[in-house]
Copies of this chain bind each other. A is one copy, B any other.
Amino acid sequence: MATFGEIGEFGFIERIEAGALPPAAGVRCGIGDDCAVLAGENSRVRLITSDLMVEGVHFVVEGSDPGGLGHKLLAVNLSDVAAMGGEPREALISLAIPPELDVGYMERVYRGLRGLAARFGVNVVGGDTTRSTGPLVMNLTLTGEMDQDRVCYRSGANPGDLIYVSGTLGDSAAGLKLALGESVGLSNADREILLCRHHRPEPRVALGRALAASGAVTAMLDLSDGVASDLRHICRQSGVSAVIDGTTIPVSTAFRRFRELSDTGARNLALSGGEDYELLFTVAHGGRDDVEALAAGPGISCIGRIVSGDGRIYLENAQGPRTELEARGFEHFSGSQAH
């Protein structure tokens, strides 16, 4: 006997994968990447992904912005499609709703979701609505499409590749701390920036497509659990290790001020805080100029390099010798953080 609290999310996924049926010929990639990849017609593939948000685990109803909740439910799925390099298409939404919830609240959730859907040309084509005996639970399934030769899997990184991230890291994790009541004497403008990055992440769909089209990306995923945890997926699936240069992690001015004013718990948020929803990708050395030429929008930063090895992540700093990063990052089952 073991409970989910004991084995955790990844432990359960490993058990489930172990007993899975052999995939059919049409399944290019099943469990284990940001999206499943299914063979389509005319050298195209179809992408499909699901993300679930549970009240009390991923969000609170009381005092929260319902529009932001709808935005985020779609954004986290768009981020998965972006991480393959794909174009988003259709969404299905399943809702388990407590009977006492105000209908106006859910209408505002939908408005937030539709605002983002309109920007990315996503059609909401169905789903399921039922009663919940407990928390509000929302699942969104998103489909996408792309050329089969351009799909960016997690498994293609090679020793010598450079490691990049888009945008800045840690803003969302700092925003969560602010949302949970941490008060560090930050200006209202900085607070707003960090809270917005937490509540309304901007999925990097255009950048993901451009990176995939460049042909220079060898592996890609989106950052949901922090570099320290997510880069490990690329390393394990590619059979390599990685060295991160701690001095090159891109952070925003607002985050830097938050970090200066916070206690020591904030120090590692840029590397191990969750929900950045930025892209983490590797580039063959010769592709450096190609991808850096693309760096419009959120911008990209080189933060390290792939080395031969067995799935370890090392951190280099000016201050001292190379250290190995622990597999930290948060898991939903651990329950230590609502986010």
Interface residues of chain A, those whose CB is within 8 Å of chain B, are 1-7, 9, 12-13, 15-16, 19-21, 23-24, 26-27, 29-31, 35-36, 38, 40-42, 46, 48-52, 54-58, 89-90, 92-104, 106-107, 110-111, 114, 117-118, 121, 123-135, 137, 139, 141, 143, 332-333, 335
Q: When A21-B124, A48-B125, A48-B143 are in contact, do A106 and B5 touch as well, CB less than 8 Å?
A: no
Give Cα A19 to B113, complex, Å.
12
Q: Which applies to chain A's interface (DSSP): helix, strand, loop or mixed?
A: mixed
Residues of B within 8 A of A26 (CB): 89, 123
**Residue numbers in B under 8 Å from A139 (CB-CB):** 50, 52, 94, 128, 139
Cβ A123 vs Cβ B30 within 8 A = yes
Which of A19, A56, A126, A333 neighbours the largest number of chain B CB atoms within 10 Å of its CB?
A126
A3 to B100, Cβ gap below 8 A? Answer: yes
Question: Is there contact, CB below 8 Å, between A92 and B9?
Answer: no
Bound together, the chains give a CA A336 to CA B252 distance in angstroms of 52
The answer to whether B52 touches A12 (Cβ under 8 A) is no
Contact status B95-A52, CB under 8 Å: yes
Given contacts A2-B102, A30-B126, A102-B1, contact A90 B134 (CB under 8 A): no
Find out whether the CB atom of B12 lies under 8 angstroms from the CB atom of A103.
Answer: yes
Measured in the bound complex, the distance between the Cα atoms of B104 and A35 in whole Å is 27
Judging by beta carbons under 8 Å apart, are B38 and A90 in contact? yes
- A-B contacts, 10 of them at CB < 8 A, read A3-B100, A3-B102, A20-B114, A23-B123, A40-B40, A48-B92, A50-B92, A51-B128, A54-B131, A134-B135
In the assembled complex, the Cα of A270 lies from the Cα of B121 at a distance in Å of: 44
Instruction: Give Cα A9 to B257, complex, Å.
Output: 47
Contact of A7 among B13, B30, B103, B132 (CB under 8 A): B103
Q: Which residues of B contact A89 (CB under 8 A)?
A: 26, 38
Q: Is B137 within 8 A of A15, CB to CB?
A: no
Inter-chain contact B94/A52, CB cutoff 8 Å: yes
Cβ-defined contact, A333 with B131, below 8 A:
yes
Q: Which of B123, B127, B332 touches A130 (beta carbons < 8 Å)?
A: B332
Tell me the complex Cα distance, A127–B124, Å.
18
Task: Establish whether residues A133 and B135, one from each chain, have CB atoms under 8 Å apart when the complex forms.
Answer: yes
- Which residues in B have their C-beta under 8 angstroms from that of A125? 23, 27, 29-31, 36, 38, 48
A54 to chain B minimum Cβ distance, whole angstroms, is 5
- Are A2 and B103 CB-contacts (below 8 A) given A30-B123, A57-B130? yes
B-side contacts of A27, CB under 8 Å: 90, 123, 125
Q: Do residues B332 and A92 form an inter-chain contact, with CB atoms below 8 A?
A: no
A89 CA to B25 CA, complexed, in Å: 12
When chains A and B are docked, how far (Å) is the Cα of A124 from the Cα of B36? 10
CA of A63 to CA of B143, assembled, Å = 37
CA distance A331 to B93 in the complex (A): 18
| Residue of B with least CB distance to A48 | B92
Across the interface, A114 reaches (CB within 8 A) one of B21, B42, B128, B332, namely: B21
A78 to B333, CA, bound (A): 30
Partner of A110, one of B16, B58, B101, B104: B16
